[in-house]
Amino acid sequence: MKVAFLDRDGTLIKDKHYLSDVNGIEFYNEAISLLKALQRKNFKFIIVTNQSGIARGLITGNQLNLINKKIEMDLSHLGIMILKTYSCPEKSEHPWRKSRPGMLLQAGLDFNINYSQSIVIGDKESDIHSGEKLGMKAFKLKNGNLESGIEDLF
């Protein structure tokens, strides 16, 4: 299976700086269009998101779960299925925290992922580096705008 690993804040949705309420979710229209195009190319989707707001006491695990489920449900209503959302609640040296590839490696254990055909899409260098460490192509999508050449996939 080929997967597009997606960052959440600043890539799929507007970054609200420690989003803690489902009512604050705002998708980038360009990101939705990109996901639909990737889906036509048989990509599956997994969200991988650093969420240090939990370790900082700014958001609870329950709030994070509600937000992630709402994002998955909203995307599902648009015909975009998310296989799973992985979150790292730590704020420092943790194997799951991007730029480390821990969340991507866990996804590989949970699903039959072909990393050589998979990609990473994010708005920060840490997103890009997490995928590159596993040999994946990585693309920057910041505030809904593509900053690097994903056109090669189409």
Angle (CA) 84 102 111, round 5°: 40
Cα separation, 34 vs 145, whole angstroms: 10
β-strand partners of 145? 142
How far apart are alpha carbons 144 and 147 in whole angstroms? 9
9 is annotated as an active-site residue: yes
Which pair of tokens denotes residue 102? 């821990």
Q: Locate 54 and state its tokens.
A: 């939990």
In the structure encoding, which two tokens stand for residue 78, read together?
A: 């648009």
Cite the active site residues. Answer: 7, 9
